[in-house]
Amino acid sequence: MSLILHILDETLVKRYIVEFHERDFSGVLPRELKVAKVRGKATAIIGPRRAGKTYYLFSILKEDPQKYLYVDFENPVFYPMTARDFIRVLDAYRELYPEIQKPVVMLDEVQAVPDWERLVRYLLDTGHEVYLTGSSSKPLSAEVATHLRGRALTYTLFPLSFREFLLFRGVEYGERAFYRNYTRIKALLGEYLEYGAYPEVALAPKEAREPILKEYLNVMIKRDVLERHRVRNVYLLNELLYLSLRSYAKYVSIDSLYRLLKGRLKVTKMTIANYLTYLEEAFFLLLLRKYERSPKARVVAPRKLYLIDTGLSLFGSKDIERDMENAVFIELMRMKSSNPRLEFYYWKSPSGHEVDFVVVEERRVKELIQVSADLSDEKTRRREFLALLNASKELKCKNLTVVTLNEEGVERVELYGMKGEIKLVPLTKWLLGREALRNEPETQLPV
């Protein structure tokens, strides 16, 4: 039997490089993600499919494309590719640009290359600046940590923030422009919550948004869950998808899912836990832990489930307040991407009082955030305020915020002998603001 070896076609590689450098990047819009350039370390960008990782790389190279060697490993020119093959790609680039011996190397969807970490180490050892992207959180992150041994910094690129969403839609919001464009901004907030924040969806005509999102969901599940993990119990996976899309911003636990499903399916708690992990790795969902003093209690407590994008809830049970809460959570996670010291939890007292988000930085509770669309009902208002006051008392945090749909102001509240000052912030201003974490008095806690 003869062995047919794949030989990289250097003519096709050179044509790819030249055509890429001749592309028009003038329309590429900037993103907010800031990365630190550290000599000898690669920059790894992870995030959900179609969140804009490729165009984020384009926004970096757009000023002088020829100084960059950008390789899309999903392009047929580079299939199949080995780490050794990439040396010929470098040689092809140097023949085209002999004056640039060390281009900045960008490796897009690098997980498509077997032993890609060897390639990255080689490039770093030879003095190249390296960027790499991947569409699955744990496999890429774990391999970066294991194989690159501290030689990479990892950042997560989420779908568009509301600030970026307005930029993509050509609407100014800074200073007086916010008030001048207020009606338009409010309308776009409705679209942001309804259809989510994937860049392509933000720019698509209204009738195309739902089909695009459906295709994203199908590809995400097929390629990043079913194929990657060789899932055998497809029916169970579909049930978990169904429940997630209808129960986002609600509590979930392995035990409760097991009790719900065991009567209809042959299933174990371990399989349920594994499938939830697969969905989290694929950036379909994110799970928020409960704030507990004991690390063990934190592990066993139910978690709150959030979708990576509110547009996906079109295929479940849409709810404006849960969409708001989901959007706030993703914005908090976006903040963590630029400040890894931040941690987020939910809080729930034994008597049932709940606070949506506890913001912690370096073991200090910085802020308590509640999300409530409408506080006009007195019972709702009292319930939300009482939960914040109870959490404030237990966690020794006076920085209390309720994110609302429209209401704004500051209320001085006293209930059952507990006092506090509560800020009411409309979601538009909260999502657009930079001062979500304020310098309020803090207390050291055993986090």
430 phi/psi in degrees, rounded to 5: -65, -45
How big is the chain, counted in residues? 447
d(CA 66, CA 21): 6
The helix (H) or strand (E) run that includes residue 368 is strand 364-371
Residue 4 domain-assigned? no
Residue 321 domain-assigned? yes
Q: Are residues 269 and 392 in the same domain?
A: yes
Strand residues in 166-320 grouped as ranges (E):
250-252, 285-288, 303-307
Q: Which residues contact 209 (CB under 8 A, 6 or more apart)?
A: 195, 201, 311
d(CA 388, CA 326): 19
Please give the pLDDT value at position 436.
Answer: 34
- Split the chain (447 residues) into runs of 10 and give each run's mean pLDDT: 59 96 95 92 92 96 96 90 90 96 93 86 94 70 68 92 97 92 97 98 97 96 91 94 96 95 91 96 95 89 97 96 98 91 96 96 95 96 97 96 96 92 97 53 37
Q: Are residues 64 and 34 in the same domain?
A: yes
pTM of the model as a whole: 0.91
How many structural domains is the chain composed of? 2
Q: Are residues 145 and 181 in the same domain?
A: no
Q: Are residues 414 and 299 in the same domain?
A: yes
Q: Are residues 102 and 202 in the same domain?
A: no
Contact status, residue 408 vs residue 426, Cβ threshold 8 Å? yes
Please give the pLDDT value at position 149.
Answer: 74
Q: Which residues contact 318 (CB under 8 A, 6 or more apart)?
A: 194
Residue 387 domain-assigned? yes
The string of DSSP codes covering 403-444 is EESS--EEEEEEETTEEEEEEEEEHHHHHH-S-SS------B
Contact status, residue 88 vs residue 13, Cβ threshold 8 Å? yes
Range of the domain at 413: 176-432
Q: Are residues 314 and 261 in the same domain?
A: yes
Please give the pLDDT value at position 3.
Answer: 40
| CA-closest candidate to residue 133, choices 10, 46, 42, 221 | 46
Please give the pLDDT value at position 447.
Answer: 36
Cross-strand bridge partners of residue 68: 104
Q: Are residues 121 and 210 in the same domain?
A: no
49 DSSP 8-state letter: T
Q: Are residues 187 and 144 in the same domain?
A: no
Please give the pLDDT value at position 145.
Answer: 59
Q: Are residues 214 and 71 in the same domain?
A: no
| CA-closest candidate to residue 287, choices 262, 305, 307, 265 | 305
Q: Are residues 348 and 399 in the same domain?
A: yes
Task: Compute the chain's Rg from CA coordinates.
Answer: 24
Q: What is the CATH number of the domain that holds 124?
A: 3.40.50.300
Q: Are residues 43 and 118 in the same domain?
A: yes
